[in-house]
Structure 1
Amino acid sequence: MSFVRNLENLVAKSVLGGVSSVSENEMSTASISLIEQSRTENVLIAQGLKRHDAELLDRLILQYQHRLLRYLLFLTGNREIAEDLFQETWMRVLTRGTQYNGAARFDTWLFTIARNLVIDFRRKRTMASLEEMCENDGDERPFEVPSNDPNPFDQYQSSENAERVAEALLTLDPLHREVLVLRFHEELSLDEISQVTRSPLSTVKSRLYRGLASLKPRMAQQPALEAR
């Protein structure tokens, strides 16, 4: 899955539930096999963390290091802070690995640890939580994005535009930015984002709507890099 996503499909499938859920009987054998493989992998990771398996931890760091650092960079907007929290996140994985039971995907658990560390860091520095930093976060009324408008992520055509998207994301409120990063960069489901952020599903949907709506004008205001 890439950033190129039709907004109408996103709203219908991810948010509004326009596509009916597929029963297990209707799923292909390959899809069922992938689900079982993922569950088995999660269980093996949980068992390895309980044993404090150093080789397993090395593999996990290698597999998730880029995604985790990217998430922390978008959440903090500061590379030095992100790198410090990156190290601390893996220390938490090492010392608290017994808390992971394999019921959820490992990356969901990993991002939850990282997010909690960001919140703790902000509270120590500013006495404000991530939620308190977001303007008008209390307004969680449904917010419709016109389906005929182009999705800001449809502009993700090249590395130059990727940089523009990243710059625009950093101008959003932290909570809206976080949901967009988890949804489009990390490809987490809305339920998984709800777990990471400890927010109701309706709140996650609202933040996704508002984040997309806020991102579009910011992208329009940025001149293309080629024209600079």
Structure 2
Amino acid sequence: MNGDPDTAADITQDVFLKLLENIQSVRKIGKFQNYLLTIAVNTCNNYTKKAKPLYMDLETLEDIEDTDNAFEKIELNELKAQIQYAINTLPDYQKEVIILRFYYDLKIREIATITKASVSTVKSRLQQGIKKLERYLADFRGGDNV
């Protein structure tokens, strides 16, 4: 978290400690992945409320196939950095749904369960977040369509 491996390790440890403390309720809730992500989201939200991050390293950006062209690699790295920066400029509630939808490939209902928001609220946050990302990336690329 915040590009700091020590902080990320601490938060990960907190997530698994909370999971172990409440493991008996997993069967009652349903899907284990949703339960684990709910704990992770809440733990990260609690951390960011205490110390507002200036930068968050999203290692979940997928690696795109290597290319032999060095210029293409530089462009790709720059684009990945801009996407990461653009996501970080979003309000937390939009950033959260973008990450859960596109990096964890969760369905809208699952995101609603994890974030404790209604399905329509999640859809709205997702749509608004995507529009903001599109505008930011179009500006970054000089007005070109994304």
Equivalent position amino acid for 2:84 in 1: A
Q: Which residue of 2 aligns with 1:212?
A: 130
Q: CA offset at residue 82 of structure 1?
A: 3.0
Q: Which residue of 2 aligns with 1:202?
A: 120
The 5-angstrom pairing of residues 44-193 of structure 1 reads: 73=1, 77=2, 79=4, 80-101=6-27, 104-123=30-49, 125=50, 159-160=76-77, 161-193=79-111
Q: Deviations over 1:23-42 (max 9, x none)?
A: xxxxxxxxxxxxxxxxxxxx
Taking structure 1 as the reference length, the TM-score comes to 0.46
Bigger relative CO (Cα 8 Å, ≥ 6 apart): 1
Q: Distance in 2 between matches of 1:204 and 1:83?
A: 29
Q: Distance in 2 between matches of 1:122 and 1:169?
A: 15
Q: CA offset at residue 118 of structure 1?
A: 2.5
| Structure 2 counterpart SS, 1:170 | helix
Q: Distance in 1 between matches of 2:99 and 2:7?
A: 18
Q: CA offset at residue 171 of structure 1?
A: 1.1
Q: Who wins on radius of gyration, i.e. which is larger?
A: 1
Equivalent position amino acid for 1:183 in 2: R
**4+ long deviations beyond 2 Å:** 77-83, 102-105, 118-123, 156-164, 220-224
Count, aligned residues: 120
Taking structure 2 as the reference length, the TM-score comes to 0.69
Q: Deviations over 1:89-116 (max 9, x none)?
A: 0111222211101753222111100122
Equivalent position amino acid for 2:118 in 1: P
Structure 2 unaligned spans of 5+: 53-62, 66-75
Q: Which range is displaced more, 159-168 or 81-90?
A: 159-168
Q: Distance in 1 between matches of 2:103 and 2:85?
A: 14
Q: CA offset at residue 209 of structure 1?
A: 0.7
